[in-house]
Structure 1
């Protein structure tokens, strides 16, 4: 049995018998006025963070959600995109699709604004998305891509890139590893299916996003997710997994490399009213300006004595320069 077959079997089981807290960060789902989330849908919250970022959504956005789970985030996306077929939710597991349809029917009885037609459930998988090229505004996935082997992850990212419109957004939440995960854990198919052994390091994860063509990546959250105990998992030391929420934009990669925003700011501390690097970056004295990591590094080399670069906050939601 391949790791993908193991994952399909595992999620068929937890679709029929929900396993509360399976892999989600222990926090309440996004709370929105007038949004009521059915209990079973909450129990099937098999994500590690959130992919629903309201600032990225418009009333006419079309969202492709990969790996529907219990339908929770499909419902949240529909809250912002209220028209038939606004959310296309894809899943290869029959039992999971059936559970999501049932949960969304319950949601329609508990939410006067929601029509089950807002969400269309389709059979399909991350490697063969059942939509046309450049046809959706947002592709989202929560705690799915991390179970893939690295080359399969690249295949899934390429497929997401294919279906996005120019300027479209790939909104993801996945575990990442603070240290490379040893081979004996990577090869444990059930641990991989449980989102415990397939995670890449931050640098590896971001580089694969860039390699398929995304020109801008913004980190929305980075927080502790799970600890792999050294004794239980036969490790030399405890290994911390983190949850990373990101938004990647289908924009051309600049000649000097992709723009990765992690919450850094640049502050000009010199005696002039402002500093202009003649490359599109103007810093007013004493005022923090959001910059991507690439620009922060370049500015630090130009005026190291009159510049403060703040640490990554691992949260960024717009503004600044690259």
Structure 2
């Protein structure tokens, strides 16, 4: 079993390579980290192309949702994007905050930081900055952000509770987050769970959906909402790297599910204006999932 630091180093190495790949190559693999499938499968990503503020050069096809769409960002907000990559979600967030707001992207991969800064300079965005650092030890002061977003990143962090506690620390009282991530329902096959490549590919690092939501509650967040959920299907030619033909059939017939979820939560405290939230019709349950409903 790899240590937390070994897992981080593996992710950093792979995402440094991903920074030099194109979107099509990344979309053909599992979060960009694995050898491309022989067909182009958009395994995780949602389509940003119709989103205001979208910059194609900043979209590496690595996300699993559209957290900025659901985050209720307002003009003048300070927004932090965790695992900001080439800057895609930061630039979408900046469209919402306007020139009077501020957007901070945090990423621990120097190559990604350089790529994002280049994109920001091309756009002339002086209120968007990118900081190198771990999201479980954010280079940000306490009570700094109105909104935190993240797209398919927390599953890559070995200690989920630590990074969720950091989100709580950095948000202002009454601030909120909207995060898209990969979670599991049921036990992942051992070969997938232990492989570092699949860890960097967003799947093996995912934890149980119930545990994920419990970590958020344990950190002190309130008013949890499951804003969106979709099923993730890994194609056979990727599964074949880890499982036999029989194991693939058993995996597909089993109770294990891999899902992308977008979760909203608030830090206790008073905020002048409540965000106006966009909801999506969930695939497997109602449009709103709160702690009182039993699913969070």
TM norm structure 1: 0.71
Distance in 2 separating the partners of 1:181 and 1:48: 19
Structure possessing the higher relative contact order (Cα contacts under 8 Å, 6 or more residues apart): 2
Q: Which of 105, 123, 131 does residue 121 from structure 2 map onto?
A: 105
* Deviating 4+ runs (over 6 angstroms): 261-264, 288-291
1:233-262 Cα shifts (integer Å, max 9, x gaps) = 33442243111011111128xxxxxxxx99
Deviation of 1:155 (Å): 0.6
Which secondary structure state, in structure 1, belongs to the residue aligned with residue 68 of structure 2? Answer: coil
Structure 1 residues not aligned, in runs of 5+: 109-114, 253-260, 265-287, 298-311, 315-322
Q: Which of the pair has more CA radius of gyration?
A: 1
Q: Which of 6, 13, 16 does residue 10 from structure 2 map onto?
A: 6
Deviation of 1:182 (Å): 3.8
- The residue aligned with 2:142 is 133
- The residue aligned with 2:242 is 233
- The residue aligned with 2:129 is 120
Contact 1:127 1:159 in 2 (8 A): yes
Contact 1:45 1:69 in 2 (8 A): no
Structure 2 residues not aligned, in runs of 5+: 32-42, 270-278
Q: Superposition RMSD on alpha carbons, in Å?
A: 2.9
Distance in 2 separating the partners of 1:289 and 1:99: 37
- The residue aligned with 1:80 is 96
1:1-322 alignment, distance < 5 Å: 2-18=6-22, 19-21=25-27, 22=29, 23=31, 25-29=44-48, 31-32=50-51, 35=53, 37-38=55-56, 40-42=57-59, 44-53=60-69, 56-83=72-99, 86-106=102-122, 108=123, 115-149=124-158, 152-227=159-234, 232-234=241-243, 235=247, 236-238=250-252, 239-251=256-268, 292=290, 294=292, 296=293
TM norm structure 2: 0.76
Deviation of 1:122 (Å): 1.0
